[in-house]
Amino acid sequence: MASHSMSDTIEEYLKQLLVNADAEQVEIRRADLALRFDVVPSQINYVIKTRFTIQDGYLVQSKRGGGGYIRIERIKLMQDADVFDQLIASIGDQLTNREATVLLQTLAEHGILSQREVTLIAALLAPTALAVTDRYTEAQVRARIMRSLLMRLKYEC
Amino acid sequence: MASHSMSDTIEEYLKQLLVNADAEQVEIRRADLALRFDVVPSQINYVIKTRFTIQDGYLVQSKRGGGGYIRIERIKLMQDADVFDQLIASIGDQLTNREATVLLQTLAEHGILSQREVTLIAALLAPTALAVTDRYTEAQVRARIMRSLLMRLKYEC
DNA sequence: TCATCTCTGACTAATTTTGACTTTAATTAT
DNA sequence: ATAATTAAAGTCAAAATTAGTCAGAGATGA
């Protein structure tokens, strides 16, 4: 897998950092990295946005201002990770409260969520909690939240 | 817990003081602390205002004039229902992702949520999950969800 | 050639650091 | 007692220091 573009090179460098550091996470300064590879700082954002997504198994956090940083964390896939992809695909643009409840219960039955976790999350997805303007938007938000949950559950935590 | 900025360093120092003092509270003199870290006195206010909020799990009292002081107290969430109400009240009608993260971490430190629950709920509240129409609405939805969570935890932990 | 990926830079947003000015409380002088 | 002085801490906004966004230009490959 030869790297052709500078973005590929930066990607490799960062992944090497994670391996060498022998840690689950690594921290960089955007400006430093840009200087090292002689690119504009915003290209670092591009590399991260295209190569260190949650789908790729990375969590990225950052902070601006003095002492700012970008932190990249590697998270490990669960054994049956592909199941989550299927579940995510099965959720459309909208998700009713009832559908959400059923899905959560299914996750519990498969030992993916504890009963307490189901209760908590169900409370957060209830109409009273979301209380967005209209039902359409509410169901949209619920769908996004559920997708986000499934994407996270796909990895160990 | 790496310290990136001087404010981070001062924060760490103060938290270490609380641990070492083996007491619920610690008292400092703003001028002394500023001198010790070679910063202007008002930076101490900044550190306290940004890192020792009730959402962080601290109460701060102070007195001006001769013999003035700043007292930082670690709150006990479980003991006092009032504190819990204060916490709920401290959430306005908007909540940033960073504030939410801080709050969840505080709940974990007090044994109210497990680390796994924090991780999952953090995923639910992430900007990508909530991404409604605009940032304003996003922060509103986040605030509502967080309030729902706290209300629930208050009664059935 | 067309679509997609990469690269750039101007503009925006968040956070920290600094300092001038204000407020409050205790002490000292009248 | 009251006023003046001194000794704290508080407020606020500007400056400095990071990172993020976005749209357009450029490069690449099918």
Reported as a single tens digit per residue, the pLDDT across B12-26 is 999 999 999 888 999
Cα A133 to Cα B54, B114, B128, B133: the distances in Å are: 30, 32, 19, 11
Residue A25 pLDDT > 80: yes
CA dist., res. B123 & res. B101, Å (int): 10
**Average pLDDT score, chain B:** 93
Q: Please, are residues A29 and A44 in contact by the beta-carbon 8 Å criterion?
A: no
Residues near B118 by beta carbon (within 8 Å), at least 6 away in sequence: B104, B105, B107, B108
* Beta-strand relationship, A25-28 and B69-74: unpaired
Contacts of B132 in chain A (CB under 8 A): 132, 137, 140-141
| Least confident stretch, A18-27, A58-67, A115-124, B53-62 | A18-27
**Average pLDDT score, chain A:** 94
List residues bridging with B36 in a β-sheet: none
Residues near A9 by beta carbon (within 8 Å), at least 6 away in sequence: A3, A37
Residue B54 pLDDT > 70: yes
> What interhelical angle do A135-153 and B115-125 show, nearest 10?
140
- Residue A91, classed as helix, strand or coil, is coil
Contacts of A130 in chain B (CB under 8 A): 141, 144-145
Residue B5 pLDDT > 50: yes
Structure confidence by residue, pLDDT tens digits, B103-144: 999 999 999 999 999 999 999 999 989 977 777 788 999 999
Residue A11 pLDDT > 60: yes
Q: Please, are residues B118 and B104 in contact by the beta-carbon 8 Å criterion?
A: yes
Q: Provide, rounded to the nearest whole percent, the portion of chain A with pLDDT above 90.
A: 87
Residues near A75 by beta carbon (within 8 Å), at least 6 away in sequence: A24, A57, A58, A59, A155, A156, A157
Q: Provide, rounded to the nearest whole percent, the portion of chain B with pLDDT above 70.
A: 97
The stretch A30-37 carries a mean pLDDT of: 98
Q: Which pLDDT score, from 0 to 100, does residue B81 have?
A: 84
Q: Which pLDDT score, from 0 to 100, does residue B9 have?
A: 98
Please tell me which residue of chain B has the smallest CA distance to A60.
Answer: B126
Length of chain A as a residue count: 157
Distance A78 CA to D30 C1' (A): 36
The stretch B53-69 carries a mean pLDDT of: 97
Please determine, looking at this structure, whether the domain spanning A81-153 carries the CATH number 1.10.3470. no
| Confidence band of B157 (pLDDT split at 50, 70, 90) | low
Please determine, looking at this structure, whether the domain spanning B81-155 carries the CATH number 1.10.1200. yes
Residue A3 pLDDT > 70: no
CB pairs under 8 A between A and B: 76
Provide long-range contacts, Cβ within 8 A and 24+ apart, for A127-130: A127/A97, A128/B148, A129/B144, A129/B145, A129/B148, A130/B141, A130/B144, A130/B145
Structure confidence by residue, pLDDT tens digits, A87-101: 999 998 899 999 999
Task: Show which residues on chain A lie within 8 Å of chain B, measured between beta carbons.
Answer: 27, 63, 65-69, 117, 120-121, 123-124, 126, 128-132, 137, 140-141, 144-145, 147-149, 151-153, 157
For residue B121, which amino acid is it? I
For residue B151, which amino acid is it? M
Q: Which pLDDT score, from 0 to 100, does residue A17 have?
A: 96
| Confidence band of A29 (pLDDT split at 50, 70, 90) | very high
Q: Which pLDDT score, from 0 to 100, does residue A1 have?
A: 41
Higher-pLDDT residue of B142, A132: B142
Residue A47 pLDDT > 80: yes
CA dist., res. A88 & res. A84, Å (int): 6
Q: Looking at the domain covering B6-74, what would its CATH class be?
A: alpha beta
Task: Spell out the domain ranges in chain A.
Answer: 6-74, 81-153
